[in-house]
Amino acid sequence: MNEPRRLRRISTGIAALALAATLALAQAQAERPTMTAEEFAEATQVYFDRCAGCHGALRGGATGPNLYPDRLAEKGAPYLQAVMFGGLPGGMPGWGMQGVMSMEEIEVMARFLLNEPPAPAQISLEQILDTWVVHVAPEDRPSEPQHDLDWEDFFGVILRDMGQVAIVDGGTKELVSLVETGYAIHILRSSASGRYFTSIGRDGKASLIDLWMDPPQVVAEVKPCYDARSIESSKYHGFEDRYAIVGCYWPALAVVLDGLTLEPLKMIGTAGYERGAGGYVEEARVAAIVASHFYPEWIVNIKEAGQTWFVDYSRMDQPGQPLAVTMLDTDLYLHDGGWAQNRYFIVAANQLNKLIAIDAQERTVAAVIEAGTIPHPGRGANWVHPEYGPVWATGNLGSQEMTVTAVDPEGHPEHAWNVVARVQVPFTGNLFLKTHPNSPWVIYDHVMSPSPVGAATLCAIDKVTFEVGSCWEVPGARDVHARMVHIEFNRAGTEFWVSAWGRMDTPSFIAVYDAVTLEEVHRIEGDWVRTPTGKFNAHNTARDVY
Ligand code: DHE
């Protein structure tokens, strides 16, 4: 008699809970602002293009906080609109102030965020194959450069919103060709030989650019995902240029491609269990990828899973052979990073304000370093300091600090993995810094500074004294609504280039400076110079010089 009564009580309890949940959901839904189907579709696209990178396709948060409607409902639509208009000091861009979104669009986006997020689609190999095009087959490509230009000193300049990459001669600074790569290219990487640039767009489209063609052009393309940020080529001895890999933000995936045709060869799902808490992570995004110099493998960082995978490509062309993936627990929110001494890959766990140094030879975590607030190394900066030996530096997005760490446990064990300098810089908002063995300076941007002066200001930091030698607001940048972003040296290390990242409707420029005197020696201008962001020198990118 007792048992059924207890069961009845449990089932009554469950029914009551279910009813309460249904009522709560109905009430919550009743409070959700209404949207037309067109508004919802448009906002979904804007969200994917502008917001998903930091807040996640599923809105779970990563570089930015989660954007779940219940949390945002407490803040309210006017607050959301104000943030989207003016931005926040931690790195949230002021979309309204920058002229990227109108007040009407911001109002629609605020309503969108107060509604449940739509479920984004998955992708199949068949769908990827449908996007794969080889414009010039490898056998039809030249066996030597078709022009007599110094292609190893070419710069690939991303013209972000133009959907183009400009190939510019590093010596003459003349435009060599404009190649169509598709929407919002994010980065370029060089193949091991330097002959090819691979590009990846936010929309997941990868393009292969052959610098030996006259003019340089896209020879193959494929779209392995809907949203992506990283691409890398195979660089281990004997595998040069043979494979490439794309790291997707959505779906949670890395796709191995043939390096000469971009044919998709292997899809590697990254959704799984989070390091530490062990929760299931559906949106486990692929952040930085780098090619190991020690083994035929890529070092692939899985942001929300807090893991770094070593993906072996040596048997990719041997059907029936295993694809080895070695998983190393590192930490959450892995983002960007670069080589220190070509042995340690240092990646930012950006929301934890940490850097993780991964020993590529031992496949272990060599050290965890406390950075500033939201470290953002790009690929970092390497040099040899007279006292500390080899050091590596990162900038920080959220604090006015360049963090310098000693990185030579074998030659300088007494300093290894210590932060040897925290250099005070005048603004927050750094994204990139760079140096070259032939320059006495580390050059540092403040592109995400909420202050327009800060965003147009560059600093040069002395590599020996760690003093800020000089900071200057780039003349004319604000006149073309530009922020100064991303530094790249020429092959000789005698000059560095910085992009004035403006609007699509106004041409801007790329400023070229003397790497020693810091004088502006040239300004690359022209109607084609619109929304320049990252720039990659073929030689330096192929050989990891930074
Ligand atoms: Fe990037 C590198 C992700 C915003 C320009 N960016 C990277 C890398 C990642 C990343 C994971 C490392 C790739 C690698 O090494 O394999 N970037 C993201 C984002 O998630 C983020 C924060 C937000 C987003 O919505 O995408 C973001 N990035 C930007 C920009 O707004 C920049 C300035 C211009 C743009 O393209 O929209 C920008 N990111 C770059 C550049 C690099 C980069 C130029 C490569 C630097 C280098 O020297 O290697």
Q: Which residue's CA is minimally distant from atom 4 of ligand 1? A: 53
3-state DSSP assignment of residue 96: coil
Give the pLDDT of the chain (546 residues) as one tens digit per residue.
343 444 344 344 444 444 444 444 444 455 789 999 999 999 998 998 889 988 998 998 877 899 999 999 999 999 999 999 998 877 788 899 888 899 999 999 999 999 999 888 999 999 999 999 999 999 999 999 999 999 999 999 999 999 999 999 999 999 999 999 988 899 999 999 999 999 999 999 999 999 999 999 999 999 999 999 999 999 999 999 999 999 999 999 999 999 999 999 999 999 999 998 889 999 999 999 999 999 999 999 999 999 999 999 999 988 889 889 999 999 999 999 999 999 999 999 999 999 999 999 999 999 999 999 999 999 999 999 999 999 999 999 999 999 999 999 999 999 999 999 999 999 999 999 999 999 999 999 999 999 999 999 999 999 999 999 999 999 999 999 999 999 999 999 999 999 999 999 999 999 999 999 999 999 999 999 999 999 999 999 999 999
| Strand segments (E) across 295-431 | 297-302, 307-312, 325-329, 334-340, 344-349, 354-359, 364-370, 381-385, 389-394, 401-406, 419-424
231 Cβ contact list (under 8 Å, min separation 6): 187, 189, 198, 199, 200, 206, 244, 245, 246, 247, 289
Residue 401, judged by CB atoms within 10 A of its CB (0-12, 13-18, 19+), counts as: buried
Opening angle at CA 390, ends 388 and 391, nearest 5: 80
The verdict on the CB of residue 336 being under 6 Å from ligand 1 is yes
The verdict on the CB of residue 287 being under 6 Å from ligand 1 is yes
Q: How far is ligand 1, taken at its centre, from the CA of residue 27, in Å?
A: 40
Cα–Cα distance, 171 to 490 (Å, whole number): 8
446 given a catalytic annotation: no
The verdict on the CB of residue 198 being under 6 Å from ligand 1 is no
Q: Are 215 and 142 in contact (CB under 8 A)?
A: no
376 given a catalytic annotation: yes
Q: Which residue's CA is minimally distant from atom 47 of ligand 1? A: 378
54 given a catalytic annotation: yes
Instruction: Kindly name the residue from 186, 335, 412, 415 that is annotated as catalytic.
Output: 335
Q: How far is ligand 1, taken at its centre, from the CA of residue 16, in Å?
A: 49
Q: How far is ligand 1, taken at its centre, from the CA of residue 228, in Å?
A: 10
Instruction: Kindly name the residue from 186, 376, 412, 446 that is annotated as catalytic.
Output: 376
